[in-house]
Structure 1
Amino acid sequence: MTPLHDITLFPIHINFMSITQKTPPPDFLAKMARLLGDEFAQFKQSYSEPPAVGLRVNTLKLSVADFNILSPFALKAVGAHEPAGFLVTDGSKPGSHPYHAAGLYYLQEPSAMVVGGLVAAQPGELVLDFAAAPGGKTTHLAAQMQGSGLLLANDIHTGRARLLAENMTRWGADNTLITSAEPAQLATQFGPIFDRVLVDAPCSGEGMLRKLLFADKHGSFEWSEAMVLACSRRQTAVLHTAAELVKPGGRLVYATCTFSPEEDEAVTAQFLRDFPQFALIDPPRFAGFSAGRPSWVDDALADETLQKSVRLWPHQFPGEGHFIAVMQRMDDGKPQAFGKSFEFHRPGKKELAVWWAFAQEFLRMEVAEERLLLVNGRLYLLPEMALETGRLHLIRYGLLLGEIRKGYFRPDHALALALTPEDAADMVNFAADSDEIAAYWQGLDVPNAGPDGWLPVAVDGFVLGWGKRVNGRLKNHYPRGLRKTRDWRLETE
């Protein structure tokens, strides 16, 4: 989710109320007091408590049980609703650990984990994350799908879509297409073909307030009632477009990280009135899950079924707050067929020969030749289930294997992060706290004896990136933009 004021998609000009000290805006508190009544004191008290630090284990790379054995952090399970989710309880900085760079977990606010859990994507499905950047919920859906089916992740802003691609690279998923397109372009290109569509809508971001209050570098929280209403109008329009992409029997999940009923129950109620073929379904309930509030909606839209939506409050749940509505398309109908031809991007014989020469020497993974795609010298491995994307702006066509230039193949970081030890002909492995990992992560070469050639560099058995061994020295091929400027071990002290 992205707060509305961070997105140029929405041309809104409002005089905002900004935080100038570490307290919530008075008008925001007054509104919450009116809504919550007797609960307000607990709600307000939650803003004096630091936000929880959460991480979700990447079950594409290791089991939760194995991560518990490996983890250097003190962890507490977030709850039965998310078996792979944990709270970090010892003040550690998991984002500064090489396990994070190797994609073993995603740092995610605990209530945001609930959204992916309620989408409940299944292997083999066609799934759309409508506004996906920076990618937390996308990684969750990818883990649920276990590499089977197709996950289309979109963000309207190209820069944010590239950040999404970077996070998905670290996750190691190979069944994802990433686009940067307008909502209407997606609806026109695909129509109602998706089993599940997630709309994690841009909103006023009230659920991000506590994180801003406790941030080391003080930020601003821009809030006004006018902004809330502007968000509501835009969310309604986005949700209407998303409905055009859900196949009969499919599910549409609407989520925000805000508390305002104008953006939550009211948007949901208006959508259900405009699209009677959709109905709210009652998802599983766990500790800390609160029901939606029909009484907070105008009488013209009030409907007791709004209680089937889920509210997460910072005074009731170990997170910052979310609203989630799970809706199903109930009408009968045959799902629309979808095209999947990429024939004009198939690599030629020369390019295939270059790839296979590299793969046979340095890899032990099976790659189906019919899934290979060559775009501007970049070789991709398409997901098994592919979509014809027409004129949409594609950021990533699947798994980027590498580049072919002048008869030479250079492997990409994305390929490294998708490898297991069994996929490589050779691999060099170092302990997380070793001098070698500290040096490698900074972009330095490392002494290493053995045959010359490309090989993955791993941290405790999990690939971190590429190295190229030359004359007993491991040349560093870790991406420059991801390198540490100093020994990572100093950042965690």
Structure 2
Amino acid sequence: MIEQLPKAFLERMKAMLGEEYEDFLKSYEAPRQFGLRINTLKISVEEFLKQSPFHLTKVPWTENGFYYEEADRPARHPYYASGLYYLQEPSAMAPAAILPVAPGDYVLDLCAAPGGKATELGARLKGQGMLVANEISASRAKALLRNIELCGIKNSFITNEVPKNLARVMPEFFDKVLVDAPCSGEGMFRKDMDVAKTWDESRPEFFANLQREIVSNAISMLKPGGLMLYSTCTFAPIENEGTISYILENFPEMELLEIPAYEGFSEGNPEWGNGDDTLKRCVRIFPHKMAGEGHFIALLKKKGILYPSKSDVAVQKPEKEAWKLLNEFWAPMELPFEKERIEIRNQNVYYLPPASNHYKGIHFVRNGLFLGELKKNRFEPSEPLALALSQDQFPAILNLSSEEERVTRYLRGETLLIEDGEAKVKKGWQLVCVDGHPLGFGKLVNQTLKNKYPAGWRRNS
């Protein structure tokens, strides 16, 4: 593998690491690390570990992160389809773990796809406050939406915009901002050698210029007193200490904060930036010191007093006939949503985040949680709604064991035969669960479950 790495990259790393360089090279011959992050919005770490069929070892820098063995294949397990965990490279778990998000915060993940960090930020909000997850690429924004929905996050606004357009309509709007910036990707070389093949000496400078534009807009969207976490998955100084130096020089309202230390974390190097001694507060994760591919992290605060965010929702109230259909569906259960945040657009029903109605001109993929669709004389619930519920919130539960063949058949979109007494309610909509965790909906008629798992989500095998 080392032979395939760019020569200029290796020469620079040798100059950077000195005596550690040989250990750095050896890390490329070590096995790749695989990571799984438990979705605490759906299950506690303790409960998941009781149920887990995998071989898990703790990731030290995050409470809900674990290494797993490649043979475990967690992406094939039905728990993945129920959103109980997200598969993420271990060092990439650090940024969202370090940014101190709390329920009620308004949070922005500015470069969010495919959603590894955004889903953790959303989980820590616990349904309170608001998550704006932005991705400039339309195709990647769709993948981001899928992961947000899979994880059951119901207070999100998924945007597809350049940062300057967001900054225009959301000045000083967010309590917390995460900028996992596009970068030259040097920390991805061991995981994906194709990334190394696209690298050349000009890429770090190209991305550094892009990063500085992005962080400038991010800072303008951060409230006084708010926190911004900047991260990359590259080793290039110009993209790391260099970009933080740019922030400190051009935005005097921003100050660099200390980050909790973990064994193996390396401090930033002032000489790789503008010489400011506070650059030591940055963190570098090197693959020869930590069981991860590599990351750079810096936590900054905007000076001032942080005031709480205010709710700002002004939905168009659904017509009486629409409410009638919705109420017929909700009647057997306690409504798990605030009625004043439910809106109907083109017969589609959404549950809006607490502030989402004054962003004219912003391109978005999804505003809030898609609850379902109004059709002739009925309301048809959505897959995202199923994944945002818990089994005790819906009256008609069909609970299957993760070891049952029917779970796999359900995920393939097949019709299921239901034995007498298996379903709590003998007809109508059923929330299909695996070991008590929702997978999706089906409709029971004469002990036959008509599968409502979305075609685009179904497994082929």
Pick the TM interval, shorter chain: over 0.9
Contact 2:105 2:309 (8 Å CA) reproduced: no
Give the drift of 1:219: 6.8
Is residue 299 of structure 2 the alignment partner of residue 318 of structure 1? no
Q: Specify the alignment match of 2:278 in structure 1.
A: 305
SS in 2 for 1:211: coil
SS in 2 for 1:120: coil
Instruction: Choose which of 117, 123, 128 in structure 2 pairs with 1:143.
Output: 123
C-alpha contact 2:135 2:159 (8 A) present in aligned 1: yes
- Cα drift, residue 406 of structure 1: 2.9
* 8 Å Cα contact 1:212/1:221 also seen in 2: no
Secondary structure at 1:181's aligned position in 2?
A: coil
Q: In structure 2, what residue type is equivalent to 1:169?
A: E
Which residues in structure 2 correspond to 1:195-344 (within 5 Å)?
Answer: 195-213=175-193, 221-297=197-273, 301-331=274-304, 340-343=312-315
- 1:161 maps to which of 141, 165, 174: 141
User: Equivalent residue for 1:397?
Assistant: 367
Q: CA deviation at 1:337?
A: 7.7
Counterpart for residue 431 of structure 2 = 456
Q: Is the 8 A contact 1:150 1:386 kept in 2?
A: no
Following superposition of structure 1 onto structure 2, how do residues 79-98 of structure 1 map, counting pairs within 5 Å?
Answer: 79=60, 81-89=61-69, 91-98=71-78
The number of residue pairs the alignment matches comes to 456
- How much has 1:368 moved relative to structure 2? 2.2
Q: What is the deviation of 1:485?
A: 1.2
Distance in 1, matches of 2:98 and 2:264, equals 14
Q: Deviations over 1:260-295 (max 9, x none)?
A: 001000011011100011010001111221101111
Q: 2:328 aligns with which of 332, 335, 357?
A: 357
Report whether the alignment pairs 1:28 with 2:12: no
Paired residue for 2:106, among 117, 126, 140?
A: 126
Measure the CA separation in 2 of the matches of 1:376 and 1:26: 56
What is the aligned counterpart of 2:350 among 356, 373, 380?
A: 380
Specify the alignment match of 1:66 in structure 2. Answer: 47
What are the ranges of 5 or more consecutive residues in structure 1 without an aligned counterpart? 1-18, 487-493
Please tell me the residue identity of whatever aligns with 1:326: L
Contact 1:347 1:374 in 2 (8 A): yes
Residues 135 and 254 from structure 1, CA distance in 2 versus in 1: closer, same or farther, beyond 3 angstroms?
A: same
Distance 1:175 1:161 in 2: 17
Q: How far does residue 27 in structure 1 lie from its aligned partner after superposition?
A: 2.0
**2:421 is the counterpart of 1:446:** no
After superposition, the C-alpha distances for 1:175-218 in whole angstroms (9 at most, x for unaligned) are 111111111111110101211111110001111111114xxxx6
Between 136-145 and 447-456, the greater mean CA deviation after superposition: 447-456
Aligned partners of 1:442 and 1:485 also within 8 Å: yes
- What is the RMSD computed on CA atoms of the aligned residues? 1.8
CA distance in 2, matches of 1:268, 1:104: 35
Classify the secondary structure of the residue corresponding to 2:231.
strand
Partner AA of 1:415 in structure 2: L
**Does the CA contact (< 8 Å) of 1:364 and 1:422 recur in 2?**
no
Could you say which residue in structure 2 is the equivalent of 1:5? none
User: Is the Cα–Cα contact under 8 Å of residues 455 and 468 in structure 1 kept in the other structure?
Assistant: yes
Distance 1:320 1:409 in 2: 47
Measure, in 1, the Cα distance between the counterparts of 2:382 and 2:87. Answer: 24
Question: Are the equivalent residues in 2 in contact too, given 1:351–1:407 (CA < 8 A)?
Answer: no
Code of the aligned partner of 2:314: F
Q: 1:162 to 1:397 in 2, by over 3 A?
A: same
Aligned to 1:57: 38
Closer/same/farther in 2, CA of residues 219 and 271 from structure 1, 3 Å limit: closer
1:42 maps onto 2:23 in alignment: yes
Equivalent positions of 1:166-177 (< 5 A) are: 166-177=146-157
Greater RCO, CA 8 A, separation 6+:
1
Q: What do the CA deviations read for 1:448-468 (whole angstroms, capped 9, x no partner)? A: 145220111111110111111
Residues in 1 aligned to 2:185 and 2:137: alpha-carbon distance in whole angstroms: 18
Equivalent position of 2:337 in the other structure: 367
Deviation at 1:346, TM superposition (A): 3.0
Letter in 2 for 1:36: L
Q: Deviations over 1:62-89 (max 9, x none)?
A: 110111110000000011x211000003
Report the residue type matching 2:243 in the other structure: V
Counterparts of 1:410 and 1:310, CA distance in 2: 48
1:473 counterpart (442, 448, 453): 448
Q: Contact 2:176 / 2:226 at 8 angstroms: preserved in 1?
A: yes
Change (3 A) 1:367 1:146: closer
